[in-house]
Amino acid sequence: MACAIALPASVNGLKKKGASGMFTRRQFAQAGLAATASLSTVRKPARADEEKKMTFEITKTDAEWRSALTPQQYRVLRKHGTETARTSPLDKNYEPGVYHCAACDLPLFSSDAKYDSGTGWPSFWKPLDNAIGTSIDRSLFFSARTEVHCRRCGGHLGHVFEDGPQPTGLRYCMNGVAMKFVPKASG
Tens-place pLDDT, residues 129-180: 999 999 888 877 677 889 999 999 999 999 999 999 999 999 999 999 999 9
Measure the CA dihedral 152/158/163/168, to 10°. Answer: -20
Residue 79: the pLDDT is: 96
Given the DSSP bridges, would you call strands 97-101 and 132-137 parallel, antiparallel or unpaired? unpaired
Query: Which positions are annotated as active-site residues?
Result: 173
Q: Cα separation of 52 and 147, whole Å?
A: 15
Q: Cα separation of 76 and 86, whole Å?
A: 15
Q: Does the pLDDT of residue 43 top 60, yes or no?
A: no
Q: How confident is the model at residue 10 (pLDDT cuts 50, 70, 90)?
A: very low
Domains annotated for the chain, with CATH where assigned, are 54-183 (2.170.150.20)
Question: ω before 167 within 30° of 0 (cis)?
Answer: yes
DSSP secondary structure string, 133-167?
EEEEE--STT--EEEEEETTT--EEEEEES---TT
Q: Cα separation of 119 and 82, whole Å?
A: 13
Q: How confident is the model at residue 42 (pLDDT cuts 50, 70, 90)?
A: very low
Residue 24: the pLDDT is: 72
Q: Cα separation of 149 and 94, whole Å?
A: 22
- pLDDT tens for residues 86-104? 999 999 999 999 999 999 9
Q: Residue 13's Cα: distance from chain center in Å?
A: 36
Contact 41, 47 (CB under 8 A): no
Q: How many residues does the chain have?
A: 187
